Amino acid sequence: MRVRQAYRFALDLTGSQTRAVMAHAGAARFAHNWALAQVKTVLNQRTAERSYGLTDEALTLSIGWTLPALRRAWNVAKPTVAPWWNEVSKEAFNTGLDALARALKNWSDSRSGERAGRTVGFPRFKSRHRTTPSIRFTTGAIRVEPDRMHVVLPRLGRLKLHESARKMARRLEAGTARILSATVRRDGGRWHVAFTVDIDRIERRPTRPGSVVGVDVGIKHLAVLSTGEFVDNPRHLAANQKQLRVLGRALSRKTGPDRHTGRRPSNRWQRAAVRLGRTHARVANLRRDALHKLTTRLTREHGTIVVEDLNVTGMLANRRLARHIADAGFGEIRRQLAYKTTWNGGRLLVADRWYPSSKTCSDCGVVKTKLALHERTYRCQACGLVIDRDRNAALNLAALAAQFDTAGSGPVAARGANWKTRVRGQVAVKREPGATLVGQTGTVPP
């Protein structure tokens, strides 16, 4: 099975290497801003010419928004606008132009309705102070040294790793992996290199192929399984909130930058900002580690995993719970389950967003009309079942797997068509990348 997998390693750069990487990141930002300025100039000029009554044939020639077109325009202009262009790798300029090409395409698709989700705005100029330095290498010498503690990148040369790259090196030496690209990026005050690798993975099977588990994510418990297991929520952000407040207040007392007056930040402000950034990076790393351990264990053990299609964006609108929801990482759990089930030979089923998993009795199937959020214990008025609310939802999710097997490739769910809780109706099945959407739509009114 051929898959694309990322390997991420921390770097230990010297002072000269750090300056070289920053120069490459600055070149990427420069190329992005130059190309964006050209695009905006042509757009404004064509808009003005249309207001004069000129025909489309008489307008100023437009600049292509694709990466090859932007690259051709940059190659023509770089001797004039960037006489230092040969001091850095060409991949630095390609990184900035590629980012602009993607941003323009996303904006165009969003306006035409071809892109789902939030409306995408027009690309903005990148600032040195507010942009995360990043460079992506796709060509040239990209390899891991035999000692597995150094990597070689174009123009940057030999860079030392903070940890051994033996896992990736073994696959490269065996011929079961091939490096496609390498991205150098600064996160939390530290530089990392991420390799995108094309890997030939061995076909695996879960420990219990016939096992079906429903996973109900939440805040009090990170995940409640239909097997009866309650996974505690580490609440990494809440645990470090006191330290973050102290560092944030210390930062606010320093002389920071001011865009309006052009004031530069003091050295103490910069050191305080680094301390705050490192703490945020540590919280993010702890959260990532906990989620990876949970999702890996679930996908390696169970053959079928059923989760809910949660509206995380809408849930974040609740100002009382937004911080805790973001700290739990509901969307990241589903994303990891989607590709890890494929790697381990399992399958992921996603219940329809409007499926009443919490309101439905897992014993008799009666659906409650209302269920307040503060009611943590589910009490069925029909059969007298008393059970934990989240455990009840997990059991209902696990029961959907049997209905999916019966329905096969049944009718597609009318997502969002019915906002009210209805009695049980037909099974809804929809194929999604890396997952399958299942649920119950009820009777949709004409």
Tell me what the mean pLDDT of segment 190-201 comes to. Answer: 94
With beta carbons less than 8 A apart as the criterion, state whether 254 and 269 touch.
yes
Structural domain that includes position 307: 208-232+277-440
pLDDT at 414 over 80: no
216 as an active site residue: the answer is yes
Domain shared by 281 and 388, yes or no: yes
User: Is position 232 annotated as part of the catalytic site?
Assistant: no
Q: What is the CATH number of the domain that holds 411?
A: 3.30.420
Phi and psi at residue 432, to the nearest 5°: -130, 160
Residue 211 contacts residue 301 (beta carbons within 8 Å): yes
Query: Does the pLDDT of residue 88 top 80, yes or no?
Result: yes
Domain boundary among 158, 183, 200: 200
Binning pLDDT at 50, 70 and 90, where does residue 415 land?
Answer: very low
| Structure confidence by residue, pLDDT tens digits, 333-385 | 999 999 999 999 999 999 988 889 999 998 888 898 888 888 889 999 888 88
Please tell me the total count of domains within the chain: 3
Please indicate, yes or no, if residue 194 is contained in any of the structural domains: yes
251 assigned to some structural domain:
no
- pLDDT confidence bin for 429, thresholds 50/70/90: very low
9 and 47 share one domain: no
Q: Are residues 54 and 85 in the same domain?
A: yes
**Residues 215, 186 share a domain:** no
- Is 59 within the bounds of a domain? yes
Show which of 62, 80, 112 is a domain's final residue.
Answer: 112
From the list 91, 98, 309, 390, the catalytic residue is: 390
Is 71 contained in some domain? Answer: yes
189 and 98 share one domain: no
Say if 250 falls within a structural domain. Answer: no
Q: Does 268 reside within a domain?
A: no
CB atoms within 10 A of CB 341: 24
Q: Domain check: are 11 and 30 in the same one?
A: no
Do 378 and 402 belong together in one domain? yes
| pTM for the model | 0.84
User: Which one of 216, 309, 327, 352 is the catalytic residue?
Assistant: 216
- Known active-site residue 308: yes
Q: Is the pLDDT of residue 294 over 70?
A: yes
Residue labelled with tokens 């091939």 = 178
pLDDT at residue number 433: 53
CA distance 225 to 116: 31
Active-site pick, 308, 309, 327, 352: 308
Q: Which pLDDT band holds residue 435 (cuts at 50, 70, 90)?
A: low
Same domain, residue pair 55 and 140: no
Same-domain pairing of 294 and 228: yes
Co-location of 316 and 428 in the same domain: yes
Looking at the domain assignment, is residue 257 inside a domain?
no
pLDDT of residue 159: 96
pLDDT at 54: 85
Which of 200, 219, 244 delimits the end of a domain? 200
* Same-domain status, 284 and 410: yes
For residues 155 and 108, state if they share a domain.
no
The reported pLDDT for the residue numbered 125 is 96
- Token reading at 31: 């190329």
Residue % of the chain over a pLDDT of 70: 91
Position 357 in a domain: yes
